[in-house]
Amino acid sequence: MTMNNIPIHALPERYLNQHQARQRPPTTYEDLLGDSIERGFAAGHWELDALVAHLNKGGPLGPNGELWTAESFQSVMKTLGE
């Protein structure tokens, strides 16, 4: 198998640290949110509205302890991605 006409065995081995862009350890809330999002994806909730509904059923609650909306989810994801 080749990649860009380079034999795969000739490519250097690469290691990706999944936390390499992290500026700080995640908070407990961020860990719980990430776990719930992963469970939602595993259950097939790929569309935003379905994922938001999953979060509202299983938690954690959204910002300020309120139910999630598509807008609040997108806002939190943007903030966490900065």
Closest CA to 73 of 81, 82, 63: 63
pLDDT at 52 over 60: yes
Name the pTM for this structure.
Answer: 0.74
Q: Which comes out higher in pLDDT, residue 44 or 9?
A: 44
Rounded to 5 degrees, φ, ψ at 7 are -60, 135
Task: Give per-residue pLDDT as tens, 6-41.
Answer: 676 666 666 666 666 678 888 999 999 999 999 999
The whole-number pLDDT of residue 68 equals 98
